[in-house]
Structure 1
Amino acid sequence: MTEHIEPKQIETDDLTKVWSVTEYCARHRIDAEEQALLLKLFGPFATACELLHNAKRAPRFR
């Protein structure tokens, strides 16, 4: 079964918000080396989805 949805009915998702790469790295404890790679890949700004799927972060153990 399909349903027609008007574009105005769709709300923007949090993953489509645009972030500053440096601010995202600071908030998510991403090291300087990984930040440099993200800046090279995306430039100064990227969507949250792009950053989430491309950033690597060390696990937080005790």
Structure 2
Amino acid sequence: MALSPTPAGKKFAEKASVSIEWKFTFDRCLAIAEASAGLNGNTLKNLIYSRLPALMDRPHRELIK
């Protein structure tokens, strides 16, 4: 499944991306998008499981803090 923002959502994201409150989050999202470009969902899932085993060693649907 692919999700795509609406035009209003794109405008909001552009404004939020330059605000001080959202700058760090925007930068991290951009880094993740660039690092995962060209990967399918299954490959990305496998990378997460292999590189973050302690994070993934928990019951299904448990909140990660």
TM-score normalised by the shorter chain: which range applies? under 0.3
| Greater share of helix | 2
Instruction: Using CA pairs under 8 Å that are at least 6 residues apart, name the structure with larger relative contact order, 1 or 2.
Output: 1
**Bigger Cα Rg:** 1
More strand by share: 1
Q: TM-score, normalised by structure 2?
A: 0.24
